[in-house]
Amino acid sequence: MTRGPAILLPFLYLALFFAYLFGPLIIMAITAFNSAGFPRVSPWECLTFGWFGKLAQDARLLEGIGNSLIIGVGVVLIAVPIGLAAALTLSQVGPRLRASLYTVFIAPILVPGVVIGLSTLIFWDRLGSALGAGYDTLFYDGIFLTIAGQVTFIAAYSMLVFLSRIQRFDPTLTEAALDMGATPTQAFVKVLLPFMAPAIGSAAVLAFLASMENYNTTVFTVVAESTFTTVLASKVRYGLDPSISAVAVIIVAGTLVAATVFEVAKRRQTRAASGLLALDRPALKLIAHPVFVAALLAALVGWVAWTGANHDSSVCEMRVLEDKRAVQERLEQERRERLRELAPAAPSQGGSQGGGAGGAFAPGSLAPGGAAPAAPGGAFAPGSLVPGGAAPASPGGAFAPGSLTPGGGAAKQPGGAFAPAGLAPSAGSD
């Protein structure tokens, strides 16, 4: 038998698979803490929490999240009852009708989201114009349209959840209730609904999440409004920025907390079922309680957030800025030397000024002042490459007068003076 190494193969495969599943997310999460202005892991610049601060100030994103929450609640309130009704209807009809009804009910899941979005938009637009409704009515309201569009297919998700639950329902329970004199409505409310309760809960969560993360349908139906996903999509399309990674970090962290609490609760449930709950040890009982775990995790998240809010990465970011400037200057210096070698015959005018300055600062110790007057453009270039979009713009402005002054010594002073000015915006955004 070749059982030895072969038995490891499945584990290796699973490990690879989960690496594929989590790798991209982990890398994205790491970029949220790098101060580099472009989301990347290497070169690593500084540990920063500034991108989270930037998120909290993003009014458009906050507005989008607000709209998404409203839409999510609306979708849950409509899609879950529809899904339940569809599942109950399916469970009552004969096999032939059931098959064709099932095809109709399942179709919205298979129809591309783009098509659902378009058709919803057109239908309500046509209906509105046929009724002569104005543009400020429901027919043209992005939030209403988005709810309508999303319910179309999210109701089918809910239906699937209910169908799997209803398969385990014992119809004799309803019959017993009816025999005892309950009306069909009472039997529905007191027997069937309580049985479906867990499924209603999970269908609601599923519907809310599906609504929050939908893009394909929403992008058409949302018209002039915006949602969480449409704001994110436009951010991603028009420029990569680590604050998008920060959004992902928040979502992943929330998910992990929820998943952990869920798992703890589940374990408790199975233990309770098998009578293994540590009733004799109150301390253990407390620690294993889902609420306690949730509180613990919440405290952990709060601590990280607090540490992050107080973490000051500006000193490190300044150093990175200086390093970049130094590199830039070295390149500039080399370029000038090459130019001088290429044109030794004409050491006139520009050459004399630049050369003079270069000569005065040749040792390189005073490089920041020396290069700036000679090539202001070059000095600005690192600024535009530098992290923290907002920060470099103002140092550039503060630096400009310095680069205009001819004297190397004078140029050096604004350079020093600009440091605190450069700190200000990034500290503010933390």
Partner 1 sequence: MTGFRAFLAGFVDRNGLPVAIYLGVAVTIWVFLLVALPQLAMLDFSFRHNLPPSKMGGPEDVYTLEQYRYFFLGSEIGPEGWNALDIGVLVKTLIAAVAVTLIDLAICYPVAYLLAQSARGAAGRLMVLALIVPFWVNEILRAFAFRILFGATGVLNELGMSAGLWSAPIDFVGEDVALYAGLSYAYILLMIFPLYNAIESLDRNQIEAARDMGASILQVHRKVVIPYAKPGIASGSTMVFMLTAGALAAPQILGGPSNLWFTQIVYQWFNDGGNWPRGSAYAIVLLAVCIGFVMLMMRVFRVSIGAIGR
Q: Write out the binding residues for partner 1, residues 253-272 only, by CB under 8 A.
A: 255-256, 259, 262-263, 266-267
Q: Does 18 bind partner 1 (CB under 8 A)?
A: yes
Count residues near partner 1 (CB under 8 A): 91
Report which residue type is found at 199: A
* 47 backbone dihedrals φ, ψ, rounded to 5°: -75, 125
Can residue 238 be called a binding residue for partner 1 (CB under 8 A)? no
CB of 254 to partner 1, least distance (A): 8
Q: Which of 152, 146, 136, 156 is nearest to 68 (CA)?
A: 146
**Residue 387 binds partner 1 (CB under 8 A):** no
Whether 248 and 28 have beta carbons less than 8 Å apart is answered as yes
Question: Binding to partner 1 by residue 120, rule CB under 8 A?
Answer: yes
Query: Does 39 participate in binding partner 1 (rule CB under 8 A)?
Result: yes
Q: Enter the tokens of residue 154.
A: 């999210």
Q: Which is nearer to partner 1, 148 or 367 (CB)?
A: 148
Q: Which of 339, 401, 351, 350 has its CA nearest to residue 372?
A: 401
For partner 1, the closer of residues 25 and 70 by Cβ is: 25
User: CA angle, 162 as apex, 160 and 163 as ends, to 5°?
Assistant: 65
Amino acid symbol at 68: S
Q: Residue 20, interface with partner 1 (CB under 8 A)?
A: yes
Q: Which of 3, 4, 5, 10 binds partner 1 (CB under 8 A)?
A: 10
Query: What is the smallest separation between the CB atom of 411 and partner 1, expressed in angstroms?
Result: 32
- The CA-atom distances, in angstroms, between 414 and each of 59, 337, 391 are 34, 26, 17
Residue of 233, 294, 297, 360 that binds partner 1 (CB under 8 A):
233
Per-residue mark of binding to partner 1, 152-181 (x: CB under 8 A)? x--xx---x---------------------
Residues 223/145, Cβ–Cβ less than 8 Å: yes
Q: Which of 77, 115, 284, 304 binds partner 1 (CB under 8 A)?
A: 115
Site string for partner 1, 68-107 (x = CB under 8 A): -------------xx-xxx-xx--x------x--xxxxxx
Q: How many CA atoms lie within 13 A of 422 on its CB side?
A: 28
DSSP 140: G
